[in-house]
């Protein structure tokens, strides 16, 4: 491991581990259905400790970004994955399209909405915006058997606003309209509701034309502010 990943990981250990709160950790784990262990750090405290660990460090290379993200993903406590997501978003301008296999591994490993949504809406979206050829990867993920990849594809344009590729957004939602999983149905509604801020008429027309296939959850979420 190069100096930057080793230094950052050591700094994070030195700051996060002593700040652990077992009582809060138990409550956090319960809230997340006991899928993950926690240190028990509140979000503001975690961000403060993260900033202190990052202070004075240079930006990573793509290889260093991969090493840091995968090392943090291997840690037991969930806060380390949150730091990984934050660090990736902070340095979204660094990776090339060659980073996609790493991103896929992060999305499909230790998967839950808390990390997937951060990776989908801020990192994946930014990566695709910088490298438009990656829309073909989103097309593949939108029809993948892994529900978290599907959710990522649906949500990756969440913050694109007027730059949203509506054909893809609506196409992904239509293709997965009858998906059995809550998290995909919720993502459809969330993506449509968010795009309705930009073009409410287009979202209204899409929902009206697909009420027979969209789940009730997707429709309720999509039309919440229409």
What residues make up the domain containing 47?
Answer: 1-94
The reply to whether 89 and 129 lie within a common domain is no
Residue 1, pLDDT > 60, answer no
pLDDT at 95: 98
Are 122 and 201 within one domain?
yes
H or E segment to which residue 204 belongs: helix 200-209
Predicted confidence at residue 130, as pLDDT, reads 98
Beta bridge partners of 77: 37
69 and 118 together in one domain = no
Task: Check whether residue 46 and residue 136 sit in a common domain.
Answer: no
DSSP 8-state code for residue 162: G
**Of the candidates 35, 66, 94, which is a domain's last residue?**
94
pLDDT of residue 53: 98
Residue 66, pLDDT score: 98
The pLDDT value recorded for residue 65 is 98
- Model confidence pLDDT, tens digit, residues 75-103: 999 999 999 999 999 999 999 999 999 99
Domain co-membership, 188 together with 90 = no
pLDDT digits 0-9 by tens, 100-145: 999 999 999 999 999 999 999 999 999 999 999 999 999 999 999 9
- Which pLDDT value is given to residue 41? 98
Residues 87, 79: Cα–Cα separation, whole Å:
12
Does one domain contain both 136 and 226?
yes
Q: Residue 167's pLDDT is what?
A: 98
pLDDT bin (cut points 50, 70, 90) of residue 2 is low
What band does 154 get if pLDDT is binned at 50, 70 and 90? very high
Query: Helix, strand or coil for residue 37?
Result: strand
**Predicted confidence (pLDDT) per residue in 31-77, tens digit:** 999 999 999 999 999 999 999 999 999 999 999 999 999 999 999 99
The string of DSSP codes covering 42-93 is -HHHHHHHHHHHHTTPPPPPHHHHHHHHHHHHHSSBHHHHHHHHHHHHHTTT
Based on the fold, state whether residues 108 and 28 are members of the same structural domain: no
Average pLDDT in the 159-170 region? 98
CATH number of the domain to which 68 belongs = 1.25.10.90
Number of domains into which the chain is organized = 2
CA distance 221 to 121: 17
Q: Does one domain contain both 110 and 90?
A: no
């Amino acid at each position: 491991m190069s100096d930057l990943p080793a230094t950052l990981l050591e700094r994070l250990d030195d700051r996060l581990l002593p700040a652990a709160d077992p009582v809060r950790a138990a409550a956090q784990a319960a809230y997340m259905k006991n899928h993950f262990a926690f240190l028990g750090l509140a979000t503001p405290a975690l961000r403060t400790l993260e900033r202190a660990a990052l202070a004075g460090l240079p930006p990573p290379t793509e290889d260093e970004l991969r090493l840091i993200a995968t090392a943090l993903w291997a840690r037991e406590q969930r806060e380390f994955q949150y730091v990984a997501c934050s660090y990736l978003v902070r340095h979204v301008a660094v990776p090339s399209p060659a980073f996609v296999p790493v991103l896929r591994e992060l999305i499909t490993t230790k998967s839950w909405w808390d990390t997937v949504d951060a990776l989908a809406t801020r990192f994946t979206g930014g990566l695709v915006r910088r490298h438009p050829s990656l829309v073909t990867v989103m097309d593949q993920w939108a029809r993948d058997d892994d529900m978290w990849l599907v959710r990522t594809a649906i949500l990756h344009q969440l913050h694109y606003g007027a730059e949203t590729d509506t054909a893809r957004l609506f196409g992904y939602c239509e293709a997965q309209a009858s998906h059995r999983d809550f998290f995909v149905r919720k993502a459809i509604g969330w993506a449509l509701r968010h795009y309705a801020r930009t073009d409410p008429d287009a979202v209204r027309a899409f929902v009206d034309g697909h009420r027979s296939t969209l789940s009730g959850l997707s429709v309720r979420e999509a039309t919440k502010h229409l």
